[in-house]
A and B are shown apart, each in its own frame.
Chain A
């Protein structure tokens, strides 16, 4: 064929975009995850109206984004399956035959994952905050204009995207859906829960803030958390999470490049 047809990174991204949106599961997962997160924020808002909250910005933000952990879990699984689904179905062989240098595939998937989930999470998180405040009524007399709220909302939107990228890295390293999901849940849920009891108290506060789950949570905290007073600042949390993402994606890229498909 004529010379105009050739591989380019932009075209691989376009291809991945088509792949992402041509699966019904993408629409289902994002739709349900968004609804659940907003619904949870509304219920918690309603509950705090019954209980009479303390009206602080910290509490309003903590309550409004209580569903973000769940959103992170779902998007992480989504990131894992974005790659393992290709191995499970065998599609990876078609993908890597079309892109035999392989290197563009993972960055393209990561880019598409961010492009699809970040705007989605921003909408879900603003909706969660607004719904929470609406249901909280006078107990939640905090608005987007209060200091730190908009920043926290963007942080709450970015953290699940970060964990989705983490999942993509794990999925690319392990290739099998079940194994990768177990590893992801282990890294995000089990390790943070076990580290507390396992570590002596004097190092606990020096280690826990750097676990991906908690560095993600730091991104949408306002003021000092009562449950986790040792959380990093939002900026540091974002940097630490970015570091984890780089490590996991680099690991995935290495495996993708080296192993037979």
Chain B
């Protein structure tokens, strides 16, 4: 369990994280979403004490991360896949981390096996591809068999096989009852991985919701209409201010007009309808809608600053 309360981080005059509060619960994958620069990484760095909060607190299992007696056994974090000395072998890198907690060398070999790096365990990490580095970073995160796993953009640079592997791993970790927090700026990735979503923009909380709730919240502004007299109906709707496009004959995509109004118009002019469907928004749209403002606002501020 991760509890974030009124967490704030300023860097000089910029506010990276602005009074953020949310809770990450065990047993499910929580996606941590936001546009680039939203404050995701800074928040994660504050959870493990790499950055000191300007205000508020981040607690893991009810206690600040640094106060745990065996921090690596509480939280496993992948914040930067390149946080490895290029000249050290993968195994020695993990061994040095394990030794701080008295974890046995056997555990190092276990996690190397779990991420599929046994064959390159003795190779220097500087020669690793980004995908291999990500796997090494995940191995380091799993070292202490932690109750909480925090991964910052873990699928960056992975090939499709690797992406699938991470997805499966995250779900397994959650199924084992662990708390799993995964950041991404891609909703499409989170849509297939996460059950719960924490979405932030400009350091503020935009949504703390399940995937299903998020879809339901989105304002629908597109209706699919099928009618044998589609052309006539289209003219009538356009006259009322709708935008109408047609991809197949007899079928219209209507936006800018409520479903109810479309139905009324059809009835009044005695036009048969074969379909009248408000389109279900995709998660991607829901996400764009939520974060759109914060991205635009940032642009405006940057423009006025320039």
Contacts and interface: CB of A to CB of B under 8 A. Distances in A.
Query: Do A and B share a complex?
Result: yes
Interface of A: 1, 3-8, 11-12, 14-16, 18-19, 22-25, 85-86, 89-101, 260-261
Contacts of A94: 83-84, 93, 97, 140
B66 interface: yes
Contacts of A12: 100
B84 A5 contact: no
Contacts of B86: 89
A8 B56 CA distance: 28
Contact of A90 (B49, B82, B99): B82
A90 B80 contact: yes
A6 B48 contact: no
Contacts of A5: 70, 73, 101-103, 144
Nearest to B97: A98
A91 B97 CA distance: 10
Interface string B53-94: 000000000000110111111000101101111111100110
Contacts of A93: 50, 79-80, 83
Interface of B: 45, 48-52, 65-66, 68-73, 77, 79-80, 82-89, 92-93, 95-97, 99-103, 140, 144-145
30 contacts: A5-B103, A6-B70, A7-B69, A7-B70, A7-B100, A7-B101, A11-B99, A14-B99, A15-B97, A18-B92, A18-B95, A22-B88, A22-B95, A23-B85, A89-B83, A89-B85, A89-B86, A90-B82, A91-B84, A92-B83, A93-B50, A94-B84, A94-B93, A95-B97, A97-B50, A97-B71, A97-B79, A99-B71, A99-B100, A100-B65
Nearest to A23: B87
Given A98-B72, A260-B45, 16 more contacts: A5-B103, A6-B69, A6-B73, A22-B92, A22-B93, A23-B85, A89-B84, A91-B84, A93-B83, A94-B83, A94-B93, A96-B50, A97-B77, A98-B97, A98-B100, A98-B101
B242 to A, nearest CB: 53
B100 A11 contact: yes
A100 B92 contact: no
B33 to A, nearest CB: 23
Contacts of B68: 100
Among B52, B72, B101, B140, the most chain A Cβ lie within 10 Å of the Cβ of B101
The 3 A-B pairs of least Cβ separation, nearest first, read: A100-B66, A22-B92, A15-B99
Contacts of B100: 7, 11-12, 14-15, 98-99
B49 to A, nearest CB: 4
Secondary structure call for the B interface: loop
A15 B96 CA distance: 4
A15 B154 CA distance: 26
Contacts of A92: 83
A99 B83 CA distance: 15
Contacts of A3: 70
B92 A1 contact: no
Contacts of A8: 102
A14 B104 CA distance: 12
A71 B258 CA distance: 82
B49 A96 contact: yes
Contacts of A91: 83-85, 93
A25 B87 contact: yes
Contacts of A19: 85, 88, 92, 96
B171 to A, nearest CB: 22
Given A90-B80, A93-B80, A261-B50, A1 B73 contact: yes
Given A15-B96, A15-B100, A98 B84 contact: no
Nearest to A85: B85
A60 B120 CA distance: 52
B88 A23 contact: yes
A97 B101 CA distance: 12
A127 to B, nearest CB: 28
Contacts of B102: 4-6, 8, 11
